[in-house]
Amino acid sequence: MTQQPKGYPIATLAGGCFWCTESEYRALDGVLYTRVGYMGGKTKSPTYQQISTGTTGHAEIVEVTYDPEKIPYADLLRFFLTKAHNPTQLNRQGVDVGTQYRSAIFYHNAAQKEAAMQAIKDAEASGQYNAPIVTAIEPASTFWPAEDYHQQYYEKYEEQNGRKHLRVILKKQGKLK
């Protein structure tokens, strides 16, 4: 889908590099649309170049529009905390280091805030991690869309980044739609 559908809820998540997080969510049944951008900082209309300095306060985020009849918000959060990224890494994901790569759930209403708090409690109680979860829960603020070349990055450039080969393998294993 090339345009964001109207009338559906949005989940806003920061889990490191937005290329990776967006790619994970686009593969889920019930996700209708995604776009990447920046949230949580002080600079208006930031660019990727500005964000990359780590001085604007923004996080790289993915905005997920979803059908709650097919995938409830709680399931999106569970996936975020247990599969999409490592929520125990403070201001980083793997080799990507800086506050722009922090782990955060940006809520749009009180119900999302409550669901986020519960999801973190559940993930901590699961015993999956040997370190505390550092995912922040923050109110959603202005969404600044990332530049066009960042949108659906892995789909646009899958030949160059090796994801095409990985996608074929995962489809054969039944792990990807």
Check if 17 is active-site. yes
Can you read off the two tokens belonging to residue 163? 């994801």
The gap from C-alpha 64 to its chain's centroid, in whole angstroms, comes to: 8
One-letter identity of residue 167: R
One-letter identity of residue 97: V
* Nearest by Cα to 135 from 72, 79, 89, 75: 89
Q: Give me the half-sphere count of Cα atoms (radius 13 Å) on the Cβ side of residue 91.
A: 8
Of the listed 17, 62, 76, 146, which one is catalytic?
17
Task: Please say whether the beta carbons of 14 and 102 come within 8 A.
Answer: yes
Residue matched to tokens 């985020």:
61
Task: Please say whether the beta carbons of 93 and 85 come within 8 A.
Answer: yes
Question: Catalytic residue positions?
Answer: 17
